[in-house]
Structure 1
């Protein structure tokens, strides 16, 4: 009897997980449909660069994130509210205006012949990729933690 409950529980769990994957979907949207916060971010930090396409990543519970693909090849990811999560310059120097000063200063001082090509903002940290391929980790306040390999 216990084995039947375990097997039934496993099937229910698999069904629920599979349902989540079935209902989760990406959907192309107009750049005008991005949240206002995201549009303001792009207009401020990527002035004059058009958004070629935008994607809305929907989950069962609603929108999880947005991605904006810029005409110059860069990609910007936003959370459901339109706050930036990741900026990927695709090996190009990204704008520095939104990057915390402590991160900008650390990179400039310790790696003077490089530039930041990608930055990710996570819950408790930042990760910055430099043009020389090094990945730097910082805490939420922008204090250097380590070189990630």
Structure 2
């Protein structure tokens, strides 16, 4: 009899799990629907590159992130408030304007014949990928922590 008492709980959890997939959907949006901070970031750092498409990633609880593919091949991801999370140059040099100075200085000095082609801002750190394939990690203040394998 105890096993039958758990059935409503199992069905409730299963229902929430399934409805999460149904309502969590990506959808294409226009440039005007981006948060203002994302539009400002794109305008300041990617002059001349127009968005090819913009995807709004929705979860049950609301908007999770925005993904912007630019006409120059670069991709930028923003959080729900329009703050940049990741910039992927797809083997191109990304603009250095928004990258913390200590990260720019370290990568330029330590790896002089390379450029940053990808950067990701995480909760407590930054990860960058250089043009020679080396991945570097930095703490939130931009101090070098390690070379990532």
TM band (smaller chain)? over 0.9
Post-superposition, which runs of at least 4 consecutive aligned residues in structure 1 deviate over 3 A?
A: 5-8
Partner of 1:68: 68
Partner of 1:28: 28
Partner of 1:41: 41
- SS of the aligned residue for 1:142 comes to coil
- SS of the aligned residue for 1:72 comes to coil
- SS of the aligned residue for 2:41 comes to helix
Q: What TM-score does the superposition give when structure 2 sets the normalisation length? A: 0.94
Take 2:122 and 2:25, find their aligned partners in 1: how far apart are those partners? 23
Gap runs ≥5 in structure 2: none
- SS of the aligned residue for 2:132 comes to coil
1:96-148 Cα offsets, whole Å, 9 max, x none, are: 00000111111111111111111000111111011111111111111111111
Q: What TM-score does the superposition give when structure 1 sets the normalisation length? A: 0.94
Gap runs ≥5 in structure 1: none
When the two chains are superposed, the root-mean-square deviation of aligned CA atoms in Å is 1.2
Partner of 1:119: 119
Take 1:4 and 1:133, find their aligned partners in 2: how far apart are those partners? 55
Q: How many residues of Structure 1 are paired with residues of Structure 2 in the alignment?
A: 149
Cα offset for 1:6?
3.9
Take 1:31 and 1:113, find their aligned partners in 2: how far apart are those partners? 36
